[in-house]
Amino acid sequence: MTPASYILGIVAAVLVLIVVVELLRRRHLRERHAIWWIIAGVLALIAGVFPTTLTWVAGLIGVEIPVNLVFFVGIATLFLVCLQHSSELTQLESKTRILAERIALLEMDDHRPANAAAPTATATATATATTKRKSGSGA
């Protein structure tokens, strides 16, 4: 390993950590999303500063070429983060949907007087009937 590639590894890891911490500091990233990037950055930093640890761990779990362990951990991390994002997207969609449904009902309440004054006779009759029924039920 050349000194240049040794330094490149460390600089890349430090850069990742700096960016993540800065985003956290400015509240552009929530802790729950940052945690994976911090773990990945710290692992990369350890492997960058002490390349022997990578070789040692790879040997320990029987990975013959240490760099393959890096690829495996990298891909696994990205995969899990993607999955987490998909899941959170789903939750956000469902919250947006619920908000849209609530808004539809709330706007309806706001426009109730306008509905009652609707131009056709049927509309007025229905609105009155609805009001009567509601006051009758005592809700």
Encoded amino acid at 93, one letter: E
Task: Indicate the residue among 85 and 97 with the shorter CB distance to another protein.
Answer: 97
Structure tokens at 130: 């609805």
Q: How far is the CB of 79 from another protein (least distance, A)?
A: 22
Q: How far is the CB of 135 from another protein (least distance, A)?
A: 11
- Which residues contact another protein by CB under 8 A? 94, 97, 100-101, 103-105, 107-108, 115, 118-120, 122-123, 125-126, 129-130, 133-134, 137, 139
Structure tokens at 106: 């709330």
**Cβ neighbourhood burial of 60 (10 Å; 0-12, 13-18, 19+):** exposed
How many separate helices (H) and strands (E) can be counted in the chain? 6, 0
Task: Indicate the residue among 15 and 125 with the shorter CB distance to another protein.
Answer: 125
